[in-house]
C-alpha cells in the first residue's frame, strides 16, 4: 500500500510542476542606478515596477527596470538613514523601512518623494531591517 502511495505522489508532483522555460536564465551587466549609493533592498512585484532602497535615503523606482540607468528615478525620502528593506505586494502598495525606525508606504510608488508617507515605529537606530508584505492588508 505504501509503495502505491509513493508512486501516486510522485506522479502527482511530476504533473503539478510546471515545465522549465525553453530559454536559459541570463543576467545583464550591472548598471549604476543612483550615483554611488548602495542598494540594500529591492522589490519587483511586476515586470512594470521595481523599487530599490539605498543607503543614502533614496527610494529608486522604475517602470522599465531592464531599460538601463536612464529608466530609474531616485526620490529622496530621508537624509538621516538609508533604507534597509523594501517590499511591494503589488504595483499599488510598497512598504520600506529605514535604519532609523521609519516605515514609509506608497500606493503610487513611482510618484516621487511626495507619494510616500512615513511613520516612526521605533525610537532611533536599531529598528527592524527587513520587511515582507504577503498581501495588501498584512
Question: Which residues, in sequence order, are bridge partners of residue 103?
Answer: 97, 119
Percent of the chain with pLDDT over 90: 36
Q: What is the pLDDT of residues 10-62, one digit of tens each?
A: 333 344 445 555 678 788 788 788 787 888 889 999 999 999 999 999 999 99
Q: What is the average pLDDT across 74-85?
A: 85
Residue 122 pLDDT: 73
- Residue 80 within a domain: yes
Distance CA(7)–CA(115), nearest Å, equals 54
Q: What is the average pLDDT across 91-100?
A: 90
- Residue 49 within a domain: yes
- Residue 26 within a domain: no
- Residue 50 within a domain: yes
- Residue 25 within a domain: no
**Straight-line distance from the first to the last Cα atom of the chain, in angstroms, rounded to the nearest whole number:** 43
**Complete DSSP assignment for 57-124:** SEEEEESSGGG-GGG-EEEE--SSS-EEEEEEEETTEEEEEETTSEEEEESSTTS-GGG-EEEE-SSS
Look at phi and psi of residue 57 and say left if phi exceeds 0, alpha if psi is from -120 to 50, else beta: left
For 103, the domain range is 34-131
Distance CA(83)–CA(95), nearest Å, equals 11
Residue 124 pLDDT: 60
- Residue 18 within a domain: no
- Residue 20 within a domain: no
This prediction has a pTM of: 0.74
Residue 20 pLDDT: 54
Q: How many domains does the chain have?
A: 1
| CA-closest candidate to residue 117, choices 131, 133, 108, 104 | 104
- Residue 19 within a domain: no
Amino acid at each position: 500500500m505504501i509503495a502505491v502511495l509513493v508512486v501516486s505522489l510522485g506522479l502527482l508532483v511530476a504533473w503539478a510542476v510546471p515545465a522549465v522555460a525553453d530559454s536559459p536564465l541570463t543576467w545583464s551587466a550591472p548598471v549604476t542606478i543612483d550615483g554611488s549609493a548602495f542598494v540594500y533592498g529591492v522589490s519587483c512585484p511586476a515586470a512594470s515596477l521595481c523599487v530599490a532602497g539605498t543607503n543614502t535615503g533614496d527610494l529608486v523606482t522604475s517602470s522599465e527596470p531592464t531599460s538601463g540607468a536612464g529608466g530609474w528615478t531616485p526620490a529622496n525620502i530621508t537624509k538621516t538613514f538609508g533604507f534597509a528593506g523594501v517590499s511591494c505586494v503589488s504595483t499599488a502598495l510598497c512598504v520600506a523601512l529605514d535604519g532609523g525606525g521609519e516605515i514609509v508606504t506608497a500606493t503610487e510608488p513611482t510618484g516621487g518623494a511626495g507619494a510616500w508617507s512615513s511613520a516612526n515605529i521605533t525610537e532611533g537606530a536599531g529598528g527592524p531591517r527587513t520587511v515582507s508584505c504577503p498581501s495588501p492588508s498584512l
